[in-house]
Every structure is written in C-alpha cells, then in structure tokens.
Amino acid sequence: MGNIYLMEPLLPEEGQHPELIDLSTELIAKASSLAARLHPLVAESIGELVRSMNCYYSNLIEGHNTHPRDIDRALMGDFSKTHKKRALQLEAKAHIDLQKKIDEGKILFSLDSHFLCTLHREFCSQLPEELLWVENPDTQMSLLLEPGCFRKSHVQIGQHIPPAPKEIPAFMNRFEKAYSLKHSHKIRRIIAVAASHHRFLWIHPFLDGNGRVARLFSHAFLLHLGIGSTLWSVSRGLARNVNSYKAHLRQADSARHGDLDGRGNLSAKGLVSFCHFFLETCLDQIIYMDSLIEPSMLSRRIERHIEEEVAAGHLHKGSFSLLREALLQGQIERGKAATITGYQERQARTILNKLVEKGLLSSHTPKGPVTLGFPLVVLENWFPKLYPEM
C-alpha cells in the first residue's frame, strides 16, 4: 500500500523550535482576550458576518471571485439568472452552511477520515453539477467528482505528485494517528493544526475540493482546541498573502535537503517554515479582528457613520442611542426604545422601525427584542478593510 513514511516528518521536532511555541502561546492569550470582547449575542451576529467573509476569501484562493453582495443575496435565496454566477452563489452558500454546522456543533470534530469525508460530502453535495466535473490538464478528460469519496485517479499538483489512489487509505490512517495527540500539551496540538493543514494537502485525498476542506478542517481543529472562533478567519489572512501561502506549501512539499534537514523524506525546514507562516497568519487575523471589535472603537465608528446618515436624512436622530445599547447589552426590548432615546413612544418606535428596515437592528419576530445587525452596506464604515474595496 505504498510507503507511508514518504510524508515524514509529520510534525516539527518537539522542543527544537521556540518560535513556534512562542506563536502558539500568544495565540492562546489573544484568542482568550478576543472571546471576552463582546456580548455573546453581538458576537453571534458578527459570527454570521465572518462566516460569509471566510467563504469569500476561501473561494478567492481557489480563483472563484464571488462578490460579497452576491454571497449575501445567495443567503437570502436570491440567485442570479446568469448560469455561472448562480453556480458560484450556490458554492458560496454550501461553504457557509457547512461552516455554520461546524460552528454550532451539528458536525462534531474528530481527527479521522470520517470527519474529513463528511466535510467534503456536505460541501460538494450542494454544488451544481457543472462544478463537480474536474478536467485532467494532461488528458483534457473530465471526471465526475464523488462527494465524500477518495479519488480513484492519479493527479499532479504543480511539481508534486500525491500518493496513488490505492495508497490514500494508508496515508490517511497515518495522518490520523500522527495528529490525534490526545495526551499532548495544547501548544503541541496547535502546532499540529498547522502541520496537518499541509500534510492533508500533500495527500490530496479528493479529486477536487481539497483546499476548501483543508481550511474548514483547520477552522474546526482550532475551534476544538478553544483557539478558533466565529469571530476570525484564517482564510482572510491566507488569501491576502496567497502567493506566500502557496510558496510555503510548495516549500513544505520539497524533499529533505541533506543531513541538516531532519531525518524524514520531506524537508523538516520546509514544514517548520509553513507552520510558522500559518500560525503567524492566525495570530495576525486575531489581532486584526480584535482591533475591529474593541467595543469603544467600534462604537465610535458606528456613531460617526450614523451621524452622517442622520445629516443626510436617511436615519432619525436618536438612532445611535439604540445601536449603542444593542452593542453593549446584546439586545433591546422594543418597549424600552422611548427610555433609551429620550423621545415619546411613537417617535421612538419610528426610530427603531427605521433601523430594523435598514437591517441595522434585527429580530426573529415582529414584536420580539432586537439585536445589532451588520448589513453589507455599513461594513466599510463599521469594519474597515474587512473585504477588499467593493
């Protein structure tokens, strides 16, 4: 069944790379700080926004540039009549639906082939048929992707030739055993998230969709360790440095360079370099999101924007007081709008209803409490540079 040791080493040598330990330690601290920033209901609303952002950037890495507005429409069931755009919208919705299941614990993380096949099947089963056909660049023949099933054909990714189809189960079994690390220190397991991200792509078990599955797998792994969160996305950092991401992947694909490059078949230095890049990217994204959601700064950006909207006649005076209360308290009972705004009940209700109409406040029911909303139109003002310029 092939030499499973061809993908050794699977982890950087323990205790030999203090820079990875330092990055992992800082990740733990920053992730803990981020989680405490917001009221849980506000964090949940921002989580919905970040899931869409994660999908946008993950697809961008694959060369599928689906505009955030089209993703937003897809989530509301508004699909384009243009065939290609509709297919990309369905792809985006599949990605977001799957991540939501992971985030809500409807698909439980486990470090095994079953979990990875479940991710692949859940994602691909929602795709339109045209996105399930994969063309072999050498033969120009198209093969139909089987959701949740390991590939049955040989592939080549750039200069890298992944294991033959019959060897995949043995390599995946080795993958599972190497990264389970149930009794290892948390820092060792965080480093394993980075290393497993590359080695999964090295095996390339599926005919297509490996990149998206790898990023969703890493998200689930980090979430399982208490580092990941719905409030940040590693895909944003990888996409914004996509050339470096792919270069580090290639470097970790390379063969061992002499006696000073570990004892495995693959380059130990290449794997360490990738792990450093991956963990540094995670840390960078946590720090970025932390700066965006810091309550006093977020409140100030919201206030500036609302002042502009009031001056333009798009919103009523008193709007910001409701939004600030929703930010700080998580939700507002509709009957308290007059007390919060200082206006008479009828005017206060008008102010609140306008904010609901604009999507700045949202509610599950017409008379239920309202929570802060984050429609696409306010993102550049409230969360600068979350997306590229739209």
Q: Tell me, what's the pLDDT at 262?
A: 82
pLDDT at 188 over 70: yes
Q: Tell me the pLDDT band of 306, cut-offs 50, 70 and 90.
A: very high
Q: Tell me, what's the pLDDT at 233?
A: 93
Q: Tell me, what's the pLDDT at 24?
A: 97
Distance in angstroms (rounded) separating the CA atoms of residues 325 and 330: 8
User: How many helices and strands in the chain, by DSSP H and E?
Assistant: 16, 4
Distance in angstroms (rounded) separating the CA atoms of residues 208 and 164: 15
Q: Tell me the pLDDT band of 1, cut-offs 50, 70 and 90.
A: very low
Burial of 269 (0-12, 13-18, 19+ CB in 10 A): middle
Tokens for 28, please give them.
């733990």
Q: Tell me the pLDDT band of 138, cut-offs 50, 70 and 90.
A: low
Q: Which residue has the higher pLDDT, 40 or 258?
A: 40
Residue 85's closest CA among 59, 58, 60, 67? 67
Distance in angstroms (rounded) separating the CA atoms of residues 89 and 68: 10
pLDDT digits (tens, 9 = 90+) for 104-137: 999 999 999 999 999 999 999 999 999 999 887 6
Q: Tell me, what's the pLDDT at 181?
A: 84
Mean pLDDT of the 256-260 span: 85
Distances (CA, A) of 224 to 111, 116, 231: 10, 15, 15
Residues 6+ apart with CB under 8 A from 387: 53, 56, 68, 379, 380
pLDDT digits (tens, 9 = 90+) for 18-52: 999 999 999 999 999 998 889 999 999 999 999 99
Q: Which residue has the tokens 């540079």?
A: 385
Contact 234, 281 (CB under 8 A): yes
Mean pLDDT of the 190-209 span: 97
Q: Tell me, what's the pLDDT at 176?
A: 96
- The CATH class of the 295-382 domain is mainly alpha
pLDDT at 239 over 90: yes
- The CATH class of the 4-293 domain is mainly alpha
Q: Tell me the pLDDT band of 260, cut-offs 50, 70 and 90.
A: confident
Kindly report the three-state secondary structure assignment for every residue of 341-389.
HCCCHHHHHHHHHHHHHCCCEECCCCCCCEEECCCHHHHHHHCCCCCCC
Length of the chain: 390
Mean model confidence pLDDT for the chain: 94
Residue boundaries of the structural domains of the chain: 4-293, 295-382
Q: Tell me, what's the pLDDT at 137?
A: 67
Contact 135, 142 (CB under 8 A): yes
pLDDT at 156 over 60: yes
pLDDT digits (tens, 9 = 90+) for 82-108: 999 999 999 999 999 999 999 999 999
What percentage of residues in the chain have a pLDDT greater than 70?
98
Mean pLDDT of the 378-385 span: 94
Q: Tell me, what's the pLDDT at 141?
A: 81
Asked if domains 4-293 and 295-382 share a fold, the reply is no
Mean pLDDT of the 267-282 span: 97
DSSP letter, residue 334? G
Mean pLDDT of the 336-363 span: 95
pLDDT digits (tens, 9 = 90+) for 139-154: 678 899 999 999 999 9
Which three-class secondary structure state does DSSP give residue 158? coil
